[in-house]
Amino acid sequence: METIIVPCTRQKIWDTHPNAGPTQARDAYVGSPFRRWRAFAEDCGSPWFILSTKYGFTRPEWPISNYSVPISEAESDSAFLATLRSQAHELGFDTCEALRVLDWERFLRLVQLALGTGRTSVVLHKILY
């Protein structure tokens, strides 16, 4: 079975509700692209995770707090990349049949860096939004 990886987005609930407090990751990202990706992931019936530039691989129901970490910063942060590698192993991504990363090539690259070379197929899946 494949696993879906949904990129985080800059638009978050705290932009319009600054006092929202910790929020489940699935509800924290409010931009149009994320809403489309979430719907796709939920409709697939496959396990899905959000790739956050602060928290790494995040289950949709996990609470997160407001943050602003550009992908350029995440890509160049060796500690963050080490965390991604550790999370990928802990979550069993390195033994998945396939990981489907939605839409953004830069997030595809982060997933590839987290997995290294192995048997898991990592593919980019474009969605119109």
Cα-based angle 120, 125, 126 (whole degrees, multiple of 5): 160
pLDDT in tens, 1-51: 799 999 999 999 999 999 999 999 999 999 999 999 999 999 999 999 999
pLDDT band at 97 (very low <50, low <70, confident <90, very high): confident
Which H or E run contains 28?
Answer: helix 25-28
User: What one-letter code names the amino acid at 33?
Assistant: P
* Contact call for residues 1 and 47 (beta carbons, < 8 A): yes
User: What one-letter code names the amino acid at 127?
Assistant: I
Is the per-residue pLDDT at 129 higher than 70?
Answer: no
- Beta-bridge mates of residue 63: 24
Q: How many domains does the chain have?
A: 1
Q: Which domain holds residue 11?
A: 2-125
User: What one-letter code names the amino acid at 45?
Assistant: G
- Beta-bridge mates of residue 4: 48, 100
What would the two tokens of residue 14 be? Answer: 């705290």
Give pLDDT, residue 40: 96
